[in-house]
Amino acid sequence: MTEFTQEKLVYSPKELEPMLQLSKNTINALLRSGRLRSVRVGRRYLIPLDAVQQFLAGIPQS
């Protein structure tokens, strides 16, 4: 059986708050504007690790 020891692949907005040192409202605004890419699963937003890295690098989200 394969064991995963890598970083998480997706994060919730709540998990990003302390990581990015941004408020809940700011993260929600970034998600709504499309500046931070996410995947919606039911009522949850999941933010891929590469979307966080692109956001921090200033690369526009597609």
Domain assignment of residue 41, given as a range: 16-57
pLDDT at 4: 55
Residue 53 lies in a domain: yes
Task: Indicate the number of domains in the chain.
Answer: 1
Please report which confidence band the pLDDT of residue 5 belongs to, taking 50, 70 and 90 as the band edges.
low
The pTM score is 0.81
Mean pLDDT of 28-49: 95
Please report which confidence band the pLDDT of residue 26 belongs to, taking 50, 70 and 90 as the band edges.
very high
Residue 31 lies in a domain: yes
Mean pLDDT of 21-46: 95
Residue 41 lies in a domain: yes
> What tokens does 35 get?
């500046």
Residue 33 lies in a domain: yes
What is the pairing mode between strands 10-11 and 44-48? antiparallel
pLDDT at 41: 95
C-alpha angle 14-16-21 in degrees, rounded to nearest 5 = 110
Please provide the average confidence, as pLDDT, over all residues in the chain: 90
Find all residues with CB under 8 Å of 13, minimum gap 6, and list them: 24, 27, 28, 31, 45, 47
